[in-house]
Amino acid sequence: MKSGQFKTIMPNKKVNTVLFEEATTSTAKDPVNEEETPLAKSINRIRAIALVKEQEEKEKAKEESKEEAKKALAQHNTHLVVKQESSKYEIGKIIMQEVLPMWDDFNRGAPNPVIRSSLFSVQTSEAREFVKKQTIYSTSNHQISYTGEQLQQEDLSVWLCIIHMARIHSIESAIYFTTYQLIKDLGWKMHSDTYDRVKLILSRLKVTGVTIAAGVEKNYEGSLVQEIARSEFNGQTYWMVQLNPRITGIFMTDTTTLLEWEVRKEIGKKATVALWLHAYYSSHKVPYAISIRKLHELCGSANRLTGFRVNLNNALQKLITVGFLETYHIDKDIVTVVKSKRGSMKLVNS
């Protein structure tokens, strides 16, 4: 056989047995004293290679295990982040609704904390005091503080009209209207004095600071109207009004009362006590008995109790005349009213 060539050996039981015995004998011999046979060297080499490969496989498995663990941890952390961000988003959606609740054209949405308080009082004085962080009387589970010129029922009427127009748009969108449109919606007389009054009211609503909180949680902090701008063109006054997007926080569907607008217009803007009572009692399904003194505080009346009693009786009678109340009763300065079907409580989600 030439050098460099290999001879093919056919399987043979006898040969295999000899090879096995030789390999066994060679491994049993002392490597120091006797030289290893070629076959023993090959077997040992194969064993060494196998051991190296086995060690490499173990190291590789360890590395892959570490990588898998890292990936699993990364996925877990990503899931937590996504879950947290999703939770923040859901909370954000509740705090900052994209739009106001929807209601029809026959009603005006009013937040209960506002109409169950003296924020918009029954006073009619032209001389309005500028107050700073004044605590506002309220029966609801809210605490209200106010900075700005004292607000009255006419301010509430204008603000409700603005909110009504804003409800069909994204809360961040500007609202456009003319003074004529606003006065028509209010049901006020078209007069130059009325135009001037609307301008004053819109300016007043902008320069306000209101904080409405339930416990330690603030539902809203900001102005009642964030931005206003006006332009005169062809004898018309055009307005652009923008609200603070966070104001939706006080317009929750289960705490926004719908005020029947025609009833408020029938009452008339001068009957301020009746206007306040209409809004207040509208926010109660079954009004509970309440003292005259408490009503006096809540509506922000500047009159003495004696004079307020007279105004209160006139106002309650007015609410019967417009069909909002069936009857009322005053006993030992405790007022009890029974609402008519027309005066039934209406919430946005009802």
Q: Give the Cα separation of 227 and 250 in Å (integer).
A: 19
CB atoms within 10 A of CB 311: 18
Q: How far is CA 152 from CA 26, 30, 128, 194, 251, in A?
A: 113, 113, 9, 16, 20
For tokens 């086995």, name the residue. 54
| Structure tokens that stand for 16 in this block | 């295999």
For the four alpha carbons of 144, 109, 288 and 312, in that order, the dihedral sign comes to positive
| Structure tokens that stand for 164 in this block | 């009504």
Q: Among 17-31, 198-212, 248-262, whose mean pLDDT is lowest?
A: 17-31
The dihedral region occupied by 133, where left means phi > 0, alpha psi between -120 and 50, and beta the remainder, is left
Q: Give the pLDDT of residue 16.
A: 46
Percent of the chain with pLDDT over 70: 82
pLDDT at residue 112 is higher than 60:
yes
For the four alpha carbons of 71, 73, 75 and 81, in that order, the dihedral sign comes to negative
Highest mean pLDDT pick, 14-23, 72-81, 114-123, 338-347: 114-123
| Ordered DSSP codes for 233-259 | ETTEEEEEEE--GGGGGG--TTSEEEE
Residues with Cβ < 8 Å from 305, sequence gap 6 or more? Answer: 292, 293, 296
Consecutive H or E run containing 65: helix 38-95
Q: Give the mean model confidence (pLDDT) for residues 222-232.
A: 96
Structural contact between residues 103 and 167, judged by C-beta atoms closer than 8 angstroms? yes
Q: How far is CA 108 from CA 67, 260, 261, in A?
A: 61, 7, 6
| Structure tokens that stand for 121 in this block | 């009082």
pLDDT at residue 220 is higher than 60:
yes
pLDDT bracket for residue 62 (50, 70, 90): confident
Q: For residue 229, what are the β-bridge partners?
A: 240
Structural contact between residues 284 and 277, judged by C-beta atoms closer than 8 angstroms? no
Report, in angstroms and rounded to the nearest whole number, the Rg of the chain calculated over CA atoms.
42
Highest mean pLDDT pick, 10-19, 23-32, 59-68, 314-323: 314-323
CB atoms within 10 A of CB 316: 22
Helix (H, G, I), strand (E, B) or coil at 36: coil
pLDDT bracket for residue 28 (50, 70, 90): very low
Percent of the chain with pLDDT over 90: 62
Q: Give the Cα separation of 280 and 294 in Å (integer).
A: 13
pLDDT bracket for residue 43 (50, 70, 90): confident
Count of H-run helices and E-run strands, the chain: 10, 14
For tokens 């007389």, name the residue. 189
Q: Give the mean model confidence (pLDDT) for residues 224-239.
A: 94
Q: Give the mean model confidence (pLDDT) for residues 103-120.
A: 96
Residues with Cβ < 8 Å from 216, sequence gap 6 or more? Answer: none
pLDDT bracket for residue 79 (50, 70, 90): low
Q: Give the mean model confidence (pLDDT) for residues 119-146.
A: 94
The DSSP output letter for 7 is -
pLDDT bracket for residue 231 (50, 70, 90): very high
Q: Give the pLDDT of residue 198.
A: 97
Q: Among 54-68, 75-89, 165-179, 191-205, whose mean pLDDT is lowest?
A: 75-89
Q: Give the mean model confidence (pLDDT) for residues 138-158.
A: 94
Consecutive H or E run containing 305: helix 305-321
Q: Give the Cα separation of 303 and 123 in Å (integer).
A: 9
Q: Give the mean model confidence (pLDDT) for residues 162-171.
A: 93
Per-chain mean pLDDT for the chain: 85
Q: How far is CA 8 from CA 1, 12, 155, in A?
A: 11, 12, 110
Q: Give the mean model confidence (pLDDT) for residues 115-133.
A: 96
Of the candidates 247, 227, 307, the one whose C-alpha atom is nearest the C-alpha of residue 315 is 307
